[in-house]
Amino acid sequence: MFVNGVIFFGLEWIAGSLIQGDNIYKNVGMMDGKHPLMEFDGDLGYQIRKQAMGKLTHMFPMIVEKQKITDISGKPISTKLSFTYQEGIIRSENGDIVVNSLGYRGPYFKKNKSPDTFRIVAMGGSTTAGMYENELTYPRLLERMLNRAVTGKQKIEVINAGLWGYTSCQVMKRYKKEIVDLEPDVILLMSGWNDINKMRESGIKKKSQYCMNHHPVLVRSNIFRFLRLKISEGFKNKPSELGINFFQGNTKYYLENLREIIEDAEAKGTHIVLVSLPSLFERGNVDKFIRYEQFSGFSLQEIGYRQSALMHINSLKKKIANEYKHVFYVDNGLSPLTKGKSQFFADTIHPTGAGNRVLAFQLFKYLNEKYKFGETFGQKYSEENWSKNKLELEYLKSIFASNQTEDLSFSACLALHGGVCTHKQVAITKHVHMTGINEFILGSILQFPLVSKSPDFKSLFENLMRKAIDLSPDFSVSYWIFGTFYSINGEKELARKYLEEAFKINPLLKDFSFIKNAKKFLKNFRQDPFIFNFRKFVEFVKRDYVPGAHFMKYNFHLSVGYLNKKSSDEAIARHMEFYYFAPLLARSIFSKTASYLKNRQEPDLAEKIIMKTRQLITQNGLKSLS
């Protein structure tokens, strides 16, 4: 052991010397690796290169405040945050990640909470912040589910305060600096993975000052990792034993950080919900977990550590929840539901869009049962209760069957309209990839004739839609989409068969006469968006049962409907919703509105709506589109 220790400190010094010196530029994998966007400073930590900020419009929206980095145990050295968001857009293969002017992912919100608002703040690292576009993060999905449940005038906000790389220390600092002032009613806390990574080193009792000061960059050094593992092989521990021995003795600061948040929140009347950490290992896929981690450069010894640490940190959350009156523990829900289905994780710990929906629904059930947001949704969730309301029952089943209409339609519009790609086959593949689901494609791309009439697409679509129906045979929208597809392609008998089945399951669909003939519907819809009953249309949109990707087009036409009724404020609200839902298409929507109003000889109203919308965007949204 003594020899191992001497060798370790000697090799540690060598590894440190190899990286010491001027700022180290770290390629974080953005823009195909062509630009090193991050730099590491021994005093300041990671930060975006200053010279990159003025040149690149699609920047990684994180900046680092000037501070000393935390020590390896997670103990704060400074009262400042390590990372904060900067307003802007990340362009990535998983969709646009939009950051509002307040520095949070998602739509703009007023800092001062209104009396009729129930405010929930989701805190944590990258599993909270999300790896996909805004609409596929679990806080955004949860917000939409909860607001559908509300029966009165109450509004529910779910603010995404997650940040990539955040440890419990940084979560605690952000809580004190920013979140307290937001006056949250509930805080959802899903933190721990980054603490696990940091605490890995704290099991070694003696460390040089250089190792402590530069741990964040050392732990990412392949040389350092190799040397550390070679040394630790001398301990002769099994992976799981080594992991639990290291971790149990080094949770002191993790627990301190949690308690600091909890005790302050309890004093202010804020409830805390501790959410278990999701992972492939949790679901029993040990072999798959090991393959992923080895590919990432982890040895079996480190993998054993991470597995043991995961179980230990979740058990700590359960324990601490029992110590406080207003602290609760919720399982993420992925373990029993998704076992054996790899599409729910992008890697070993980060959920895909499908995984986030499962997580959001698990929290949705818990919060509604606890806080009674709606008369129907506040009941205990059994099929007997849900069956009283056909729409809610279908929605519940659609989630468990991964029939994610909103998610799929959003990604389809990005793939086909957002400049990501134009080739139809690439767009289809992109569409599937972005959602994190590979069972089926919903009919969100049927409005694009060149795609829907492609023989290759027809074969692919039929196979996938049959799988969708097998997954959820009582979900009316699947039949509706299949029937619409055949109607567009002129196959009347098949169209009638599937549409009749859709109407049989959900009579509400039959109320919309334009659905019966998809060709006529699409043609008329382009010419006159006001061919149907406006009241019914508003009801339909609010329930989010507009099938497929027509949602975006409907949102514009809903705005036009409000303009016809001289409700310019409502029209602006629809514009802003569209803006945050699909910022790439914002310019198109504004110009369409202006053109529509000018054609109706209402240039003053056209100017008013455009100016007001742009003013709101300048204040609350992306300045680049103002």
The domains located in the chain, with CATH, are 2-371 (3.40.50.1110)
**Can you give the pLDDT at residue 228?**
42
DSSP state, residue 565: T
pLDDT in tens, 305-362: 556 677 777 888 888 989 998 999 988 766 554 454 455 676 667 787 767 877 887 8
- Using CA atoms, how far residue 72 sits from 112, 261, 305, 485, 569, in Å, is 36, 20, 17, 57, 52
Q: Where are the alpha helices (DSSP H) in 135-203?
A: 138-149, 168-177, 193-199
Task: Report angle CA 380, 503, 408 to the nearest 5 degrees.
Answer: 70
Q: Name, in order, each residue with C-beta under 8 angstroms of 191's C-beta and a sequence gap of 6 or more.
A: 123, 124, 125, 128, 166, 167, 168, 171
10: CB partners within 8 A, 6+ apart = none
Query: Within 13 Å and on the Cβ side, how many CA atoms surround 71?
Result: 13
Distance CA(611)–CA(626), nearest Å, equals 10
Q: In the block, which residue shows the tokens 């190899």? A: 18
User: For the chain, how far is it from start to end, CA to CA, in angstroms?
Assistant: 64
Tokens of 585: 């298409």
Q: Which residue has the tokens 């050392």?
A: 218
Burial class of residue 417, CB neighbours in 10 A (0-12, 13-18, 19+): middle
In the chain, % helix, strand, coil (3-state, to 5) comes to 60, 10, 35
Count CB-CB contacts under 10 A for residue 423: 11
How many angstroms separate the Cα of 625 from the Cα of each of 569, 616, 619?
Answer: 20, 11, 12
pLDDT tens digit string along 78-130? 434 444 455 555 555 555 566 777 778 877 788 899 888 999 999 998 889 88
Give bridge partners of residue 327 from the DSSP assignment. Answer: 272
How far apart CA 283 and CA 359 sit, in angstroms, is: 14
- What is residue 180's predicted lDDT score, i.e. its pLDDT? 94
Closest CA to 558 of 577, 582, 580: 577
The residue type of 559 is S
Dist. CA 193–CA 196, nearest whole Å: 5
Locate 146 and state its tokens: 């909860």
Helices (H), 401-447: 405-417, 424-435
Burial (CB < 10 A; 0-12, 13-18, 19+), residue 111, is exposed
Cα 476 to chain center, whole Å? 27
User: What pLDDT was estimated at residue 254?
Assistant: 82
Tell me the C-alpha distance between 158 and 166, whole Å: 19
Residue pair 575/613 in contact (Cβ under 8 Å)? The answer is yes
- Amino acid sitting at position 501: E
DSSP conformation class of 105: B
Give the span between the Cα atoms of 575 and 580, in whole angstroms: 9
Sign, CA torsion 320/325/331/332:
negative
Q: What residue ranges in 321-402 does DSSP mark as E strands?
A: 327-330
| Alpha-carbon span 38 to 63, nearest angstrom | 9
Do β-strands 271-275 and 186-190 pair in parallel, antiparallel, or remain unpaired? parallel
- Residues in Cβ contact with 59 at an 8 Å cutoff, skipping those fewer than 6 apart: 37, 48, 52, 53, 86, 88, 90
Q: Strand pairing partners for 274? A: 189, 329
Query: Quick one: which of 552, 568, 561 has its CA closest to 605?
Result: 568
Query: What pLDDT is attached to residue 424?
Result: 42
Amino acid identity, position 386: W
Which residues pair with residue 63 across a beta bridge?
A: 84
What Rg value do the Cα atoms of the chain yield, rounded? Answer: 26
Burial of 377 (0-12, 13-18, 19+ CB in 10 A): buried
C-alpha closest to that of 543 among 156, 142, 147 = 147
Give dist(CA 190, CA 317) in Å, integer.
10
**Could you give the angle at which helices 492-505 and 476-488 cross, rounded to 10 degrees?**
160
Write the single-letter amino acid at 350.
Answer: H
Query: Which residue bears the tokens 């989409």?
Result: 481
Cα–Cα distance measured from residue 124 to residue 116, given in angstroms and rounded to the nearest whole number: 26
C-alpha to C-alpha distance for 510 and 526, rounded to whole angstroms: 21
pLDDT at residue number 13 = 39
Dmax over Cα atoms in the chain, in whole Å?
88
Q: Describe the strand order of the beta sheet including 24-26 as a list of residue ranges.
A: 24-26, 38-41, 45-48
Question: What is the C-alpha separation between 285 and 561, in angstroms, rounded?
Answer: 51
Q: What is the pLDDT of residue 462?
A: 73
Query: What is the reported pLDDT for 193?
Result: 74
Query: Which residue ranges in the chain fall short of pLDDT 50?
Result: 1-84, 200-249, 283-303, 337-338, 340-341, 375-452, 511-552, 580-585, 620-626
User: Which residues lie below 8 Å from residue 334, measured CB to CB, with a gap of 6+?
Assistant: 278, 282, 283, 344, 351, 355, 358, 359
Q: How far is CA 424 from CA 94, 169, 368, 429, 458, in A?
A: 18, 46, 41, 9, 12
